[in-house]
Amino acid sequence: MPSKRRLRWVAVPAGIAAAVALAGCTPTELHGFLPGFVEDGTAATNQTDRVASLWVNSWIVLLAVGVITWALMGWAAVAYRRRKGQTGLPVQMRYNMPIEIFYTAVPLVLVLGFFFFTARDQAEIETQWGDEADVEITAIGKQWAFDFMYAGEDDDLSDAVWTMGIQAQPDAEGNVDQEKLPTLVLPVDQKVHISLQSRDVIHSFWIIDFLYKKDMYIGKDNSWSFIPTRVGEYAGKCAELCGEYHSMMLFNVKVVEQDEYYDYVEALREEGNTGDIADAYDRLGNFPGTGAPGTDSEEEGE
């Protein structure tokens, strides 16, 4: 009884201290110091908080398992250490059924738990808006920059507008002029669907504060749907080693109010950047099966 009472007096202050410590955490600390959140806890997209929660909670579970494992290792090292006057090996045990069951069941539960929560969140994040999207954008990766094309009314690509980017141009000191980087403009609180394409090799489309990235394949389009929830400017880059100037494959993202977004699209239209650029600047004009010069289909015809 006295020992239980002592444990209670230890557990209560420890619980209070833990609660106070957690209550004093900023949103940045609560989200594991991940980018994508401001001081009031507002996330960059409707998916950012879900990604951060999966990441942080996974680490909490893993750290708890680690603490238990380290504690058991320490206890075994102390409890079964060689005492003064002892010689030879300690008594050897062939097996311990409760421990064997414990060591089998706990990892199985952990793996199933991680699989369930990962599959659940991935299914939600990977849900595409389809025809429900408010804005249709095509992002095209190339060595070593990005092009962005904004679909016209009713997602008509013949009425689309676009911008073509160039790779970052650092000065002698390695500084990059951010204003000259390709810029993707998104309307806040709107359903955005981005089609991801590549002109040459595999790239990866990564907006850092959005806590998500997706690959851009050759001959196979990928897509990403989300809602930008906070006005601001964000950094983006290619996250797949794609050649000599991979580190210079940078872009900016500006999340703006809807009126500003429509003004930007109209400004591109007035500049004459209209129509579908996906085919006109495609390096894969001789991709097998297209019937273009040099492909297998023509060689067979010869």
Determine the Cα–Cα distance for residues 231 and 56; give it in Å rounded to an integer. 25
Q: Which residues contact 159 (CB under 8 A, 6 or more apart)?
A: 151, 152, 153, 274
| Cα separation values, 221 from 139, 140, 141, 216, 217, Å | 10, 10, 11, 7, 6
Distance between the two ends of the chain, CA-based, in angstroms? 94
Instruction: Share the mean pLDDT of the chain.
Output: 81
Q: Which amino acid is at 275?
A: G
When comparing pLDDT for 173 and 71, which is higher?
71
166-222 residue pLDDT tens: 888 888 888 888 888 999 999 999 999 999 999 889 999 999 999 999 999 987 889
Q: How does 89-109 read in b/e, with b if 16+ C-beta sit within 10 Å?
A: eeeeeeeeeeeeeeeeeeeee
Q: What is the pTM of this model?
A: 0.75
239-264 residue pLDDT tens: 999 998 899 999 999 999 999 999 99
Nearest Cα neighbor of 227 from 101, 86, 133 is 133
By the 8 A CB rule, do 157 and 149 touch? yes
| Cα separation values, 206 from 19, 211, 236, Å | 36, 8, 6
Output the pLDDT for position 185.
96
Output the pLDDT for position 220.
83
Structure tokens at 192: 């955005």
Give me the mean pLDDT over the 147-162 stretch. Answer: 80
Beta bridge partners, 249, equal none
Structure tokens at 177: 């002029």
Give me the mean pLDDT over the 267-274 stretch. Answer: 87
When comparing pLDDT for 103 and 267, which is higher?
267
Output the pLDDT for position 150.
93
- pLDDT confidence tier of residue 22, bands split at 50, 70 and 90: low
Helix (H, G, I), strand (E, B) or coil at 276: coil
Output the pLDDT for position 29.
61
When comparing pLDDT for 43 and 285, which is higher?
43
112-151 residue pLDDT tens: 999 999 999 999 999 898 788 899 999 999 988 999 999 8
- pLDDT confidence tier of residue 294, bands split at 50, 70 and 90: very low
The yes-or-no verdict on residue 281 having pLDDT over 70 is: no
Output the pLDDT for position 296.
44
The yes-or-no verdict on residue 107 having pLDDT over 70 is: yes
Return the axis-axis angle of helices 97-125 and 48-79, rounded to nearest 10°: 170
By the 8 A CB rule, do 163 and 262 touch? no
Determine the Cα–Cα distance for residues 140 and 213; give it in Å rounded to an integer. 14
